[in-house]
């Protein structure tokens, strides 16, 4: 309800009406997976330096049409963030300014629901720029993969059950091969793989066994 | 995109540029458990490469094959327009989807990649067998001079005459000599001697030192062959001295190196013919065994290896027979090689199936002597004895023609599996010595006994079902994926035997005298019993199994795990090889069905 009101408000006060499409529903049966790499974890002053988005059409992950961009920022990259995403100042310098990337990205996303792992963080990071350029926040519905995973694995679990919602744990539980982490495209692709599988399992009413131990790197005895 | 394994065959054949194009065009598909990804008979817009999960290849008749990560499917649905089987997701499965237009484009541009998509098993196998050639070349170049059969060093004094030097070469069977002259050592070759005598008109009494040269080019005993080759090229020499610890120990000639590449098969017949005793032959027998591996390493096709090996083995057996048989037996007897040796399909020796037919009576003591001598000679060569005792040592397999024909009749009447197996072994017999006429008469008698005997032929054909269906099944794959046990396929039971025996049955049915399976198939095609295309597939599939079998036999020789030699471990082969194996098994399945319906085996 609050969201609906908010979207109504933004829609009315939208500065640039070229972006009205964000408020129209996207093609049915399509979602977009989003992942951002940032200079840090604080949406108030950290910046987005790389972004990737992949459309999922039905059960097909459209990697061949993925959107990916590096963004140039004026801020000096803090060393601790470089260690995470491995994008050095030099790499980021090859990027383009956000005011060029954002319109492309928003058109790519369109009115589709946004899927992500801790998707609120990515959306909040983007909202800073979105607000600045079009005086609105992203109105898209958000789908949180860790939430679906939680419901399938821990829904109805006795109190005191240890929760493990780490990205790697979900990957391992679903048997998805791990690609190099902290590349926005890879992260988005792995998130997409999680999503198609979790969504289908949810529809089927399947559950993820809690006794199913997280797979080890190598089989026992290997 | 990242995450697509470009090192996974057949994609490893793509150039960097091509693989980038491929990656750019990839999508990822998700399939729920039980979802049919490609139904049989339908085409597909994508080549699927499994990322995770497993896909069952379902066919009504047999246990399904299961595909796992890195396996691709289905080239038939993509290129040839119709899948041969149903492809069904067993569990939650993710696949890379490569659009058809990209695959077709790459097939057009890259012949090595295209080979994967051939419809024909034999062509596919050829394309992938070709790969090993480079490796063969490499292994030869990395051989050490020490391991080459080089010519030993013979020293003469510089004072001896040209004529003496020539005689010395002939007596020692060498083409070059080391010549000591004072403190120095020179080399004289046969060509040097001829030039001195013919072109320079030197008298034959002139000292050899005048004909030799002292700028000896040498290579170390522990140098690599490629270093020797470089040296020959650099100094334009066809012969190098070999030095070791400051001494010359022999000569390495270009022909010796050539021998390494081609195997020295061309030398073995000579060794067999020249052998004067059973012990001499033992060396030749070993050389036959050793060259199989060398030929295989060099990428020679398995049917060619089998043909060469059979030819050499037959010469060997003939010589052993000549040496071990008393005159009476030699004159009356016709030595038979049977089973795989008779079909010319044996590469690494597994067992000996041999027999002797006599067209007249010979003294019992002579026959007894021959049986012992012949068998112990083969034992001495390391030929494993036949587990079914199908050997001349066994009186059943060494008797008069009349007696043997009575034996054949008895087997035909008995009709139990053991009798049928004996008949099967005999049908593959070839005569290596004596009058082949004896063998032809025996076979004619057998064909006469079986002609038109539908029930009998059916019983004979039913041996094809002796072994269980090919198993690339779900359970074993799962077992392997958790590392619980080796996942293997018995090539002999699943592949070779059904083909060989089915073809053998048809050959008896049509009175075909050829013994090699490939030749029988050709004859059956000519007779209109088999479709030409299917005949080619069948021969191709047989060679696939022989190739894989040879590989695991060679492996077993090295690890000394005999007994497991027919079992191919599926985790040890590449995706492409598994694909070829799958195609070959499909051919076997079709062939079993053909034999089954022709002889109405449902009743057994």
Nearest CA in chain A to B23: A64
CA distance linking residue B42 with residue B59, whole number of Å: 14
> Where in the sequence of chain B do the CATH 2.60.120.10 domains occur?
11-117
**Mutual angle of helices A145-154 and A184-204, in 10-degree steps:** 40
On whether any CB of chain A is under 8 Å from the CB of B290, the answer is no
| Residue A109 to residue A25: CA distance in whole angstroms | 11
DSSP B273: H
Residues of A in contact with B1 (CB under 8 A): 63-64, 66, 185, 189
Query: Strand B430-431's sheet: what is its strand order?
Result: B398-400, B354-358, B333-337, B430-431
Q: Count how many residues are written for chain B.
A: 604
Interchain proximity A61–B3, CB inside 8 Å: no
Is B27's CB within 8 Å of A61's CB?
A: yes
B26 → closest Cβ in A59, A64, A185: A64
What is the chain B residue with the closest CA to A172?
Answer: B52
Per the CB < 8 A criterion, the answer to whether B308 and B295 are in contact is yes
Answer whether B30 touches A (CB < 8 Å).
yes
Could you tell me the end-to-end alpha-carbon distance of chain A, in angstroms, rounded to an integer? 54
Q: Which of residues 478-537 of B touch A (CB under 8 A)?
A: 481-483
Q: How far is B27 from chain A (nearest CA, A)?
A: 5
Residues within 8 A of A (CB atoms), B 62-101 only:
69, 92, 94, 97, 99
Q: Does domain B141-262 have CATH number 3.10.580.10?
A: yes
DSSP result, B390-441:
-STTSGGGEEEHHHHHHHHHHHHHH--HHHHHHHHHHHT-EE-SS-HHHHHH
Task: Say how far apart CA A34 and CA A120 lie, in whole Å.
Answer: 11
Structural domain harbouring A106: 2-147+156-204
CB of B213 within 8 A of CB of B190?
no
CA A38 – CA A129 distance, rounded (Å): 13
Distance to chain B for A90, nearest Cα, Å: 22
3-class secondary structure, B449: helix
Q: Work out the average pLDDT over B112-141.
A: 62
Q: Do B27 and A197 touch (CB under 8 A)?
A: no
CB B366 within 8 A of CB B329: yes
A59 and B483 within 8 Å at the Cβ level: the answer is no
Q: Which residues pair with B244 in a beta bridge?
A: B247
Q: Which residue blocks in A20-166 are alpha helix, DSSP H?
A: 79-85, 89-93, 98-109, 119-134, 145-154
Residue B477 has pLDDT above 50, yes or no: no
Is residue A199, in this structure, part of any structural domain at all?
yes
A118 is a domain residue: yes
Nearest-CA residue of chain A relative to B37? A59
Which chain B residue is nearest to residue A176, measuring alpha carbons?
A: B52
Contacts of A61 in chain B (CB under 8 A): 27-30
Helix axes B436-450, B401-414, angle to 10 degrees: 30
Nearest CB to A63 within list B27, B52, B481: B27
Identify the residue among B92, B101, B103, B478 best suited for mutation to test binding to A, counting A beta carbons within 10 A and taking the highest. Answer: B92
Instruction: Report residue A52 CA to chain centroid gap.
Output: 9
In a domain, A214, yes or no: no
**DSSP three-state, residue B458:** helix
Any CB–CB contact under 8 A between B246 and chain A? no
Range with the largest mean pLDDT of A126-140, A190-204, B183-197, B218-232: A190-204
H/E element, B94? strand B93-99
H helix or E strand, kind and range, residue B259? helix B254-262
* Chain A residues near residue B29 by CB distance under 8 angstroms: 59-61
Contact assignment for B29 to A189 by CB distance below 8 Å: no
* B389 close to B425: Cβ distance less than 8 angstroms: no
Q: d(Cα A185, Cα A54) in Å, to the nearest integer?
A: 8
Contact: B1, A183; criterion CB under 8 Å: no
Mean pLDDT estimate for chain B: 82
Chain B hits for A219, CB-CB cut-off 8 Å, are: 481-483
Please indicate, yes or no, if residue A209 is contained in any of the structural domains: no
The CATH number for A32's domain is 3.30.420.10
Report DSSP letters for B124-138, one per residue.
HHHHHHTTHHHHHHH
ipTM value of the model?
Answer: 0.82
What is the phi-psi region of residue B488: left when phi exceeds 0, alpha when psi lies from -120 to 50, beta otherwise?
beta
Beta strands in B163-227 (DSSP E): 176-181, 184-189, 218-220
CB contact under 8 A, B92 and A174: yes
A50/chain B closest Cα distance in angstroms: 16
For residue B84, the model assigns a pLDDT of 76
Where are the CATH 3.30.460.10 domain residues in chain B?
A: 311-447
Inter-chain residue contact A60 with B27, CB threshold 8 Å = yes
pTM of the model: 0.61
Question: Is A218 domain-assigned?
Answer: no
Pick from B319, B322, B295: which is nearest to B307 by CA? B295
Please tell me whether residue B488 adopts helix, strand or coil conformation.
strand
CA separation for the pair B428, B496 (Å, rounded):
15
**CA B89 → CA A62, B49, B65, B73, distances in Å?**
20, 13, 12, 12
Numbers of helices and strands, H then E, in chain A = 8, 7
pLDDT over 50 (residue B75): yes
Q: Which of B8, B31, B32, B53 to mutate to test the interface with A (most CBs of A within 10 A)?
A: B32
- Is omega for the bond preceding B74 within 30 degrees of 0, making it cis? yes
Count the Cβ atoms, other than its own, within 10 Å of residue B393: 20
Residue range B525-546: average pLDDT? 91
Give which of A182, A197, A201, A213 to mutate to test B binding, by max B Cβ within 10 Å.
A197
Cβ neighbours of A200 in B, within 8 Å: 30, 32, 92
Percentages (nearest 5) of helix, strand, coil residues in chain B: 55, 15, 30
B25 closest CB neighbour out of A64, A192, A201: A64
Q: Look at B1 and A63 and tell me if their CB atoms are within 8 Å.
A: yes
pLDDT tens track of chain A, all 222 residues?
A: 667 777 777 776 666 677 778 888 889 999 999 999 888 888 888 889 899 999 999 999 999 999 999 998 766 667 777 776 666 666 667 789 888 999 999 999 999 999 999 999 999 999 988 888 887 888 899 999 999 999 999 888 888 788 889 998 999 999 898 887 678 899 999 999 999 999 999 999 888 887 654 444 433 333
Of A63, A177, A219, the CB nearest to B26: A63
Strand partners, B144: B224
Question: Minimal CA–CA distance to B354: which of B338, B332, B376?
Answer: B338
Q: Which of B2, B24, B30 sits opposite A186 (nearest CB)?
A: B2
Torsion of CA A99, A105, A106, A112, to 10 degrees: -170
Residue A220, SS3? coil
Angle between helices B436-450 and B454-461 (to 10 degrees): 110
CA-wise closest residue to A72 among A44, A91, A53: A91
Q: Do A177 and B27 touch (CB under 8 A)?
A: no
> Taking CA atoms, what residue in B is nearest to A184?
B2
| Tens digits of residue pLDDT in B279-330 | 888 888 888 887 788 777 766 778 888 888 888 888 889 899 988 888 888 8
pLDDT tens digits, residue range B145-171? Answer: 887 878 889 999 989 999 999 999 988
Q: What is the pLDDT of residue B471?
A: 44
Shortest distance, CA B482 to any CA of chain A (angstroms): 6
- Contacts with B540 (C-beta within 8 Å, 6 or more apart), sequence order: B120, B121, B122, B123, B124, B125, B584, B587
Residue B50 pLDDT greater than 50, yes or no: yes
Q: Which residues of A touch B (CB under 8 A)?
A: 59-64, 66, 174-177, 179-180, 183, 185-186, 189, 192-193, 196-197, 200-201, 204, 219-222
Identify the H or E element spanning B31.
strand B27-31
Query: Is residue A217 one of the residues assigned to a domain?
Result: no
For residue A66, list chain B residues with Cβ-Cβ distance below 8 A. 1
Strand partners, B58: B86
Which CATH number applies to B460-603? 1.20.120
**Least reliable range by pLDDT among B201-205, B222-226, B472-476:** B472-476
Non-local CB neighbours of B43 within 8 Å, separated by 6+ positions: B77, B78, B81, B82, B83
Task: Please give the Cα distance from B513 to B33 (Å, whole number).
Answer: 52
Q: What is the dihedral of CA B4, B7, B9, B10, to 10 degrees?
A: 70
What pLDDT score was predicted for residue A134? 80
Whole-angstrom Cα Rg for chain A: 18
Number of domains in chain A: 1
pLDDT for B518 beyond 70:
yes
Q: Do A175 and B52 touch (CB under 8 A)?
A: yes
Domain B11-117 adopts which CATH fold? Jelly Rolls (2.60.120)
User: Whole-angstrom Cα distance, residue B479 to residue B22?
Assistant: 33
* Chain A residue at shortest CA distance from B93: A197
Which residues have C-beta within 8 Å of that of residue B530, sequence separation ≥ 6?
B506, B521, B524, B538
Distance from CA of B484 to the nearest CA of A (A): 9
DSSP H/E element including A51: strand A48-57
In angstroms, the CA B56 to CA B53 distance is 10
What is the sign, positive or negative, of the torsion defined by CA atoms of A96, A101, A104, A108? positive
What residue of A is the nearest CA neighbor of B479? A219
Q: What angle do CA A42, A45, A49 make, to 5 degrees?
A: 85
What SS3 state is found at A180? coil
Q: What does CATH list as the number for B311-447?
A: 3.30.460.10
Close Cβ partners of A96 (under 8 Å, ≥ 6 residues apart): A69, A70, A71, A72
Q: Which residue of A has its CA nearest to B94?
A: A193
Give alpha helix (H) positions in B80-161: 100-109, 111-114, 121-129, 132-141
């Amino acid at each position: 309800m609050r969201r609906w009101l908010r979207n109504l408000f933004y829609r009315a006060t939208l500065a640039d009406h070229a972006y009205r499409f964000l408020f129209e529903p996207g093609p049915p049966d399509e979602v977009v997976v989003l992942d951002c790499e940032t200079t840090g974890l604080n949406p108030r002053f950290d910046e987005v330096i790389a972004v990737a988005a992949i459309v999922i059409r039905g059960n097909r992950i459209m990697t061949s049409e993925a959107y990916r961009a590096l963004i140039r920022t004026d801020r000096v990259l803090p060393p601790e963030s470089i260690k995470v995403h491995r994008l050095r100042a030099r790499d980021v310098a090859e990027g383009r300014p956000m005011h060029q990337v954002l319109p492309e990205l928003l058109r790519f996303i369109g009115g589709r629901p946004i899927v992500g792992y801790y998707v609120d963080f990515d959306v909040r990071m983007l909202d800073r720029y979105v607000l600045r350029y079009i005086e609105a926040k992203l109105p898209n519905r958000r789908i949180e993969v860790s939430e679906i995973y939680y419901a399938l694995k821990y829904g109805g679990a006795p109190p005191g059950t240890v929760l493990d919602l780490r990205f790697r744990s979900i990957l391992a539980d679903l048997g998805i091969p791990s690609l190099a982490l902290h590349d926005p495209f890879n992260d988005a692709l792995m998130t997409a793989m999680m999503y198609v599988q979790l969504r289908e399992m949810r529809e089927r009413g399947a559950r993820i066994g809690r006794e199913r131990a997280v797979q080890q790197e190598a089989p026992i005895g290997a | 995109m990242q995450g697509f394994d470009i090192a996974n065959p057949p994609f490893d054949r793509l150039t960097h540029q091509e693989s980038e194009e491929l990656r750019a065009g990839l999508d990822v598909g998700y399939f729920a458990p039980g979802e049919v990804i490609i139904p049989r008979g339908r085409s597909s817009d994508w080549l699927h490469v499994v990322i995770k999960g497993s896909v069952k290849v379902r066919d009504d008749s047999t246990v399904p094959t299961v595909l796992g990560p890195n396996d691709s499917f289905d080239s038939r649905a993509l290129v040839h327009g119709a899948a041969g089987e149903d492809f069904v997701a067993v569990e939650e499965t993710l696949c890379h989807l490569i659009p058809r237009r990209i695959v077709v484009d790459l097939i057009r541009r890259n012949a090595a990649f295209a080979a994967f998509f051939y419809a024909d098993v034999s062509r596919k196998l050829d394309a992938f067998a070709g790969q090993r050639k480079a490796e063969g070349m490499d292994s030869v170049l990395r051989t050490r001079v020490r391991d080459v059969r080089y010519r030993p060093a013979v020293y003469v004094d510089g004072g001896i005459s040209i004529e003496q030097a020539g005689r010395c070469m002939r007596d020692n069977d060498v083409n070059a000599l080391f010549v000591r002259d004072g403190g120095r050592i020179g080399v004289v070759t046969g060509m040097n001697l001829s030039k001195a005598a013919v072109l320079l008109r030197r008298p034959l009494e002139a000292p050899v030192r005048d004909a030799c040269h002292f700028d000896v080019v040498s290579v170390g005993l522990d140098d690599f062959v490629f270093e020797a080759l470089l040296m020959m090229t650099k100094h334009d020499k066809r012969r190098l001295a070999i030095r070791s610890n400051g001494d010359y120990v022999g000569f390495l000639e270009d022909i010796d190196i050539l021998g390494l590449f081609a195997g020295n098969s061309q030398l073995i017949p000579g060794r067999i013919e020249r052998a004067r005793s059973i012990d001499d032959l033992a060396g030749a027998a070993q050389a036959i065994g050793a060259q199989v591996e060398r030929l295989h390493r060099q990428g020679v096709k398995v049917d060619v290896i089998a043909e060469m090996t059979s030819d050499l083995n037959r010469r060997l057996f003939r010589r052993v027979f000549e040496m071990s048989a008393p005159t009476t037996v030699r004159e009356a007897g016709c030595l038979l090689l049977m089973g795989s040796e008779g079909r010319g399909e044996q590469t690494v020796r597994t067992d000996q199936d041999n027999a002797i037919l006599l067209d007249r009576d010979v003294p019992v003591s002579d026959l007894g002597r021959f049986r012992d001598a012949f068998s112990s000679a083969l034992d001495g060569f390391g030929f494993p004895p036949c587990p079914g005792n199908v050997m001349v040592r066994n009186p059943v397999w060494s008797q008069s023609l009349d007696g043997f024909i009575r034996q054949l009749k008895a087997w035909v009447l008995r009709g139990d599996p053991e009798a049928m197996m004996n008949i099967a072994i005999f049908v593959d017999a070839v005569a290596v010595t004596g009058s082949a006429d004896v063998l032809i008469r025996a076979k004619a008698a057998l064909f006469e006994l079986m002609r038109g005997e539908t029930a009998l032929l059916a019983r004979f054909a039913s041996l094809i079902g002796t072994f269980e269906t090919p198993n690339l099944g779900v359970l074993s794959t799962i077992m392997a994926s958790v590392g619980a046990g080796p996942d293997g396929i018995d090539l002999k039971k699943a592949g070779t035997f059904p083909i060989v025996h089915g073809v053998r049955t048809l050959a008896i049915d049509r009175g075909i005298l050829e013994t090699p399976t490939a030749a029988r198939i050709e004859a059956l095609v000519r007779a209109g019993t088999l479709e030409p295309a299917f005949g080619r597939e069948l021969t191709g599939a047989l060679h696939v199994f022989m190739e894989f079998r040879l590989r695991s036999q060679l492996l077993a020789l090295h690890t000394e795990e005999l007994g497991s030699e027919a079992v191919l471990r599926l985790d040890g082969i590449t995706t492409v090889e598994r694909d070829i194996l799958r195609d070959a098994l499909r051919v076997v399945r079709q062939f079993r069905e053909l034999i089954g319906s022709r002889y109405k085996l449902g009743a057994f």
